[in-house]
Structure 1
Amino acid sequence: MIVTFCGHNDVYGSEKVRSWVETVIRQLINEGATHFYCGGHGGFDRLVSGVLQKEKERSPHIQSILVLAYLQENPYAVDYDYTYYPELELVPKRFAILRRNEIMVIESDVVVAYVTHGWGGAAKTLEYAQRKKKRVIVYPDTQ
């Protein structure tokens, strides 16, 4: 099972959000999740990366994957098991993150979202996941 995360750069109440992410990740691992996609572009992604690193101590079989929007070095790559670059060479640079997020959703079984307002990339990714009828878990609800 593949899980994608999407969320805003600014994370308010980060300890509460971190606790929620820990609970959701453990629940998904218990359901068979093994691969966790992050975009690595903001506070929520960094929070998720930290939770996944710690969770690997308990569940060493899981994989945290940084999905790149641009084919260049990324300073956060060391925080993940590996990087994945979907073929985006023909996508104009200004649309690369949006297209990368769509690919992440398409390839995923579950999308976990920290979306507190209706604008920005995280909100667009959440809307896309809902249109694609993916299973979505949105903070603070876990339905």
Structure 2
Amino acid sequence: MSICGFAGHSQVEDEEEIFEKLYKECLYLAIEKGVTEFMVGNYGMFDRLARNAVKRVKQMLPNIKIFLVLPYLTREITEYREYYEKNYDEIIIGSSPDVKPKYKIISCNKFMAEKSDYMICYINHTYGGAALTYKYATKSKTEIINLGSI
């Protein structure tokens, strides 16, 4: 059992192209590398594209699991729980309760980078949360696939 996480900027330049690349990489990882669990976030276009790519792979390979990884439980998740339970196999809170609120997103991103065997990234610049997650992944034993320009 292997795990793939995702890290990418909230804005994506060519959504269709990035979606197709995400889909191909997810399918490759599932078939060739034995990845059965995919952890996705919920904070921007790259996260939505990643989720949709994994859902497409899951249509062909129903043993695939999609986990939504969040820094904390939000009102949206609570109010629309049925939607989230339908679209994800599990919701994981990726930051510990003792982390101060302003650091929860950073803690969650670090959690995803450290738990993943593979990270599919979309990194075009060296600042921001996605770039920081990418740096965490490079320090661990995570194999990184970057669809961005860096």
Per the TM superposition, whether the score is higher than 0.5 is: yes
Distance 1:20 1:97 in 2: 26
Q: 1:27 is matched with which residue?
A: 28
Distance 2:94 2:14 in 1: 33
String of CA shifts for 1:121-142, please: whole Å, max 9, x gaps.
Answer: 000000111122421110158x
Distance 2:9 2:88 in 1: 19
C-alpha RMSD over aligned residues: 1.6
TM-score (ref. length: structure 2): 0.87
- CA drift at 1:24: 0.3
Distance 1:20 1:136 in 2: 14
Q: Find 1:130's aligned residue among 135, 138, 143.
A: 138
- CA drift at 1:51: 1.3
- Structure-to-structure mapping, 1:82-97, within 5 angstroms: 82-86=90-94, 88-97=96-105
Q: 1:2 is matched with which residue?
A: 3
Paired residue total: 141
Q: Find 1:41's aligned residue among 40, 43, 51.
A: 43
**What is the letter of the counterpart of residue 124 of structure 1?**
L
Q: 1:50 is matched with which residue?
A: 52
Provide runs of 4+ in structure 1 moved above 4 Å. none
> Which structure 2 residue ranges, 5 or more long, are not aligned?
none
User: Going by fraction, where is helix more abundant, 1 or 2?
Assistant: 2
Q: Which moved more, 1:65-74 or 1:124-133?
A: 65-74
> Which structure 1 residue ranges, 5 or more long, are not aligned?
none
Matched, 1:106 2:114: yes
**What is the letter of the counterpart of residue 98 of structure 1?**
I
- CA drift at 1:87: 5.1
- CA drift at 1:77: 2.7
